[in-house]
Amino acid sequence: MAKHKSLRFQPAGGERKTQVPVGKKQKLCIERLANDGRGIAFVEGRSWFVAGALAGEEVEARVLAARAQVVEARSERVLIPSALRREPACAHAGRCGGCTLQHLPHAEQLALKQRSLAEQMQRQAGVEPDEWAAPLTGLELGYRRRARIAVRWDVKGKRLEVGFRAAASQDIVAIDDCPVLVQPLQPILRALPALLRTLDKPQSLGHVELFHGTQSALLLRHTAPLGEADLQRLRAFCAEHQAQLWLHGAGEPEPDVPEQRLGYRLEPWNLELQYRPGDFVQVNGAVNQAMVEQALDWLAPQTGERVLDLFCGLGNFALPLAQRVGEVVAVEGVQAMVARARENAAANGLGNLHFFQADLSKPLAGAPWAARGFAAILLDPPRDGAFEVVKEIHRLGAQRLVYVSCNPATLARDAAELVRQGYRLKRAGILDMFPQTAHVEAMALFERG
């Protein structure tokens, strides 16, 4: 009996296209921008997403990855530039993975983010706010108050690499200047590589984090104990740059001087919040303050009301809220953050705050702190959103709800659920927390009835 040839690996529907090889160069005409700021071109039935390209440009791009009908690439040469293209402020733009839109004017960056938010809300939730708020903005450059510096020992070259991760790569780009860092951190960044290369065991160094708030700070991650000579070098460096030294070995990050404290201020409310390396803190201090002001304005909390703050973190919203209302219930998933939020409330003399730890990725059923209901609710969830919480939000009785989001997709998904429960999307707008990138943060106000 004749054997039949297996059909398992034969393509259906015609001849299979040849895969586009990584590294291939291709001339492309860019038709429009994707929501992440990459240019989109179409060639032979494939969609090309090209970093560093603008709509209307002709570019030569190099393939980074390809799968099925989608090709990811990077513009290496602009043959016909867009009239919008501008010279990046940073010499490392295009190689460093931190800023992806420096070649696009700031006004166009804001328009791109606004379109991204509106498209997500319309496509996923089928809603548009009664009013679009103006973008909440700050400085284009010099805004970032924390940064992680990559450090790696090159065994073959016997040298220490220090800088930022490259775009679409694990390579490290040596950075001698970073225009998006706040000014007090820039001289630390410039002098840091030379300092690290003087240490006795560069192979044991991990990353470095820089912070600036009420003071500047440097955190060094190390995988082996540091010798006394290295400690003295680090202490002298930090003293010269008026920065705290924090060390992160086998346990949690610890200050070199035990009484040292890191913090940031919310000036309109005369508040100071303490934090530790590893805690979530918004990187853009000016926009963070403006965001809190806008959230309180939209939520319109009244004296005597009971307000709920979900995903409260260190108390960034909860403490200013407590100055306006009778009681704030603040809930956070990480116990260490709950403890620090309590300490922040006490240090600022606020006694009407009640903090609780709860897994907010699960339903709220049975939570004792939710039993009495609330007049208003503020949510500031991570990128995953707050769907499980939102599904039960109507049980809490709130008439007003402000949702602060770092992911328009999950905001849109959760907005659809809120609308289903009888809330109306009254106002929405973007928060330009990360200028020079396509990252979109947003705020939305919902009202019941």
Instruction: Enumerate the domain spans of the chain.
Output: 24-85, 110-139+284-448, 146-255
Using N-to-C axis directions, what is the helix angle for 186-196 and 228-240, rounded to 10°?
160
Can you give the pLDDT at residue 168? 76
Helical ranges in 368-429 per DSSP H:
387-390, 408-420
Q: Which CATH number fits domain 24-85: 1.10.4160.10, 2.40.50.140, 3.40.50.150, 2.60.40.420?
A: 2.40.50.140
The residue behind tokens 């620090």 is 340
Task: Please choose, from the candidates 437, 412, 427, the residue with its C-alpha nearest in 3D space to the C-alpha of residue 117.
Answer: 412
Q: What is the rounded distance in angstroms from the CA atom of residue 356 to the CA atom of residue 315?
A: 12
Give the model's pLDDT for residue 10.
Answer: 41
Architecture of domain 110-139+284-448: 3-Layer(aba) Sandwich (3.40)
Q: Does 29 belong to an annotated binding site?
A: no
> Does residue 406 carry a catalytic annotation?
yes
Q: What is the DSSP string of 40-106?
A: EEEETTEEEEEET--TT-EEEEEEEEEETTEEEEEEEEEEE--TT----SSTTBTTBSS-S-TTS-H
Query: How many CA atoms, within 13 angstroms, populate the side-chain half-sphere of residue 235?
Result: 10
Q: Choose the catalytic residue: 29, 238, 312, 406.
A: 406
Domain 146-255 belongs in CATH node 2.40.50.1070: yes
Whether residue 312 is annotated as binding a ligand: the answer is no
CA pair distance 272, 343, nearest whole angstrom: 11
Per-residue confidence (pLDDT) for residue 133, from 0 to 100: 98
Per-10-residue mean pLDDT, the chain, length 449: 40 62 95 96 95 97 93 96 96 90 97 96 94 97 96 92 89 92 97 96 94 97 95 98 96 94 97 95 97 98 96 98 97 95 98 95 84 94 95 93 97 96 97 97 95
| Phi, psi dihedrals of residue 122, rounded to the nearest 5° | -75, -45
238 is in an annotated binding site: no
- DSSP assignments along 250-271, one per residue: SSS-EESSTT--EEEEEGGGTE
The answer to whether the annotation marks 120 as part of a ligand binding site is no
pLDDT for 15: 52
42: left (phi over 0), alpha (psi -120 to 50) or beta: beta
Q: Round to whole Å and give the CA distance between 427 and 76.
A: 41
192-212 residues labelled b (16+ CB within 10 A) or e (exposed):
bbebbeebeebebbeebbbbb
Instruction: Answer yes or no: same fold for 110-139+284-448 and 146-255.
Output: no
